[in-house]
Chain A
Amino acid sequence: DTGVSQDPRHKITKRGQNVTFRCDPISEHNRLYWYRQTLGQGPEFLTYFQNEAQLEKSRLLSDRFSAERPKGSFSTLEIQRTEQGDSAMYLCASSRGQWNTEAFFGQGTRLTVV
């Protein structure tokens, strides 16, 4: 399977704990995105990497959130001191090239904070 892969698919955590999600993009894609989707809404942009450089962070991404993409390959999204409001589906996407080309999404990680 050469699609975007995310792990874990589901995560239940207690409020105040730290969680980390992983995303493996399509291998030749240099661009990687994280989005968040809450119930009944469309996905909202969180952050963007071009190769290993993080080029934009949304205002939705508080300082409890950090994302990395070492060596321009896989990416991790960490949430520290989770809050109930962090409960959502976290989606990773990737695309290639210089311009706004077609993006492909992974299966998502559903986070529940109890």
Chain B
Amino acid sequence: GIQVEQSPPDLILQEGANSTLRCNFSDSVNNLQWFHQNPWGQLINLFYIPSGTKQNGRLSATTVATERYSLLYISSSQTTDSGVYFCAAGPNSGGSNYKLTFGKGTLLTVNP
């Protein structure tokens, strides 16, 4: 099945700094999602971005499907941005093209 790798595994920032999280995937995709997992465990949808670029406030994401990677940008980080960020990919082919495979996540800590 598809493999998903995220980097870095951990990231510590000062409030106000910018950051880039990366997600590499091993196969062509028809679904690529970024999530933020809150302290209670719920996965909050950030972006549905199988290709192209999207922006939502201080967050933006870019997926380059032909090169099999996606980037999540966080600008002017705030302490409330802390938490685990997951990338999840759904393959474009094969019998299981409806399910998501998750990376291991990036643990972001934003210090005041």
Question: A residues near B, CB below 8 A?
Answer: 31, 33, 37, 40-45, 48, 50, 56, 89, 91, 93, 95, 99-108, 110
9 new A-B pairs (CB below 8 Å) besides A42-B102, A99-B30, A100-B98?
A33-B99, A42-B104, A45-B99, A91-B43, A100-B30, A102-B31, A102-B48, A104-B45, A105-B42
Nearest Cβ distance between residue A102 and chain B, in whole angstroms?
A: 4
- A23–B38 Cα distance when bound, in Å, is 19
Chain A positions within 8 Å of B42 at CB level: 105-108
What per-residue 1/0 map shows which CB atoms of B43-67 lie under 8 Å from chain A?
A: 1010010000000000000000000
Is B72 at the interface (CB under 8 A from chain A)?
no
Report, nearest first, the 5 A-B pairs whose CB atoms are least far apart: A42-B102, A102-B48, A100-B31, A100-B90, A105-B43
Contact B41 A89 (CB under 8 A): yes
Interface size on B, residues (CB 8 A): 24
A-B contact pairs, 24 of them (CB 8 A): A31-B98, A33-B100, A42-B86, A42-B102, A42-B104, A42-B105, A43-B86, A43-B88, A43-B102, A44-B102, A45-B100, A45-B101, A89-B41, A91-B41, A95-B98, A99-B30, A99-B97, A99-B98, A100-B31, A100-B98, A103-B31, A105-B35, A105-B43, A106-B42
Question: B residues near A, CB below 8 A?
Answer: 4, 30-31, 33, 35, 40-43, 45, 48, 86, 88, 90, 96-105
Nearest chain A residue, comparing its CB with the CB of B91: A100
Question: Given that A99-B30, A110-B41 are contacting pairs, would A56 and B88 also be in contact in the complex, using a CB cutoff of 8 Å?
Answer: no
Task: Determine which residue in A42, A91, A102 has the highest number of CB atoms from chain B within 10 A of its CB, and name it.
Answer: A42
